[in-house]
Amino acid sequence: MSTIRFLKTFLVVAEGGSFAAAADRVALTQAAVGLQMRALENELKSSLFERSGRGVVLSDAGRALVAHAEKIVGYYDQMREGLDGEGEIAGTVTVGSIVTAMGLLSNTVVRMKPLYPRLNVRLVMQESSGLATSVKSGALDAAIFVDDSPRERKGMRWTPLYTEPLTVVASSRIAPPGSDFKKLLREQPFLRFDRRTPSGMRIEQTLRKLGLAPQDFLELSSLSAIIDLVRQNVGVTIVPHVKNADWANDALLRVLPLPGRPATRLIGMLEQGKREHITSVIRQHLVQLLAEKSAASAAAGTGPALGAGKPRQKLAPPR
Tell me what the pLDDT averaged over the chain comes to.
Answer: 86
112 or 55: which carries more pLDDT confidence?
Answer: 112
Q: 198 lies in which domain range? A: 164-264
Nearby residues of 46 by Cβ (< 8 Å), 6 or more positions away = 59, 61, 65
128 in any annotated domain: no
* Under 8 Å between Cβ of 313 and 284: yes
The pLDDT value recorded for residue 155 is 79
185 in any annotated domain: yes
CATH number where 11 lies: 1.10.10.10
Over residues 186-197, mean pLDDT: 94
116 in any annotated domain: no
CATH number where 207 lies: 3.40.190.290
318 in any annotated domain: no
Domain termination residue (choose one: 84, 104, 134):
84
290 in any annotated domain: no
**Which of the four pLDDT bands, split at 50, 70 and 90, describes residue 141?**
very high
Among 118-122, 129-133, 156-160, 178-182, where is mean pLDDT lowest? 129-133
The pLDDT value recorded for residue 28 is 84
Domain termination residue (choose one: 26, 59, 84):
84
Single-letter amino acid code for the residue at 196: R
Whole-model pTM? Answer: 0.65
How many domains, in total, are found in the chain? 2
**Which of the four pLDDT bands, split at 50, 70 and 90, describes residue 232?**
very high
Most confident of 64-73, 132-141, 254-263, 304-313: 254-263
Domain termination residue (choose one: 50, 84, 118):
84
Tell me the DSSP string of 17-55: SSHHHHHHHHT--HHHHHHHHHHHHHHHTS--EEEETTE
274 in any annotated domain: no
CB atoms near residue 302 (< 10 Å) = 12
226 or 248: which carries more pLDDT confidence?
Answer: 226
188 or 20: which carries more pLDDT confidence?
Answer: 188
216 in any annotated domain: yes
298 in any annotated domain: no
The pLDDT value recorded for residue 81 is 60
pLDDT digit string, tens, across residues 48-65 = 998 766 678 899 999 999
Sign of CA dihedral 144, 147, 151, 154: positive
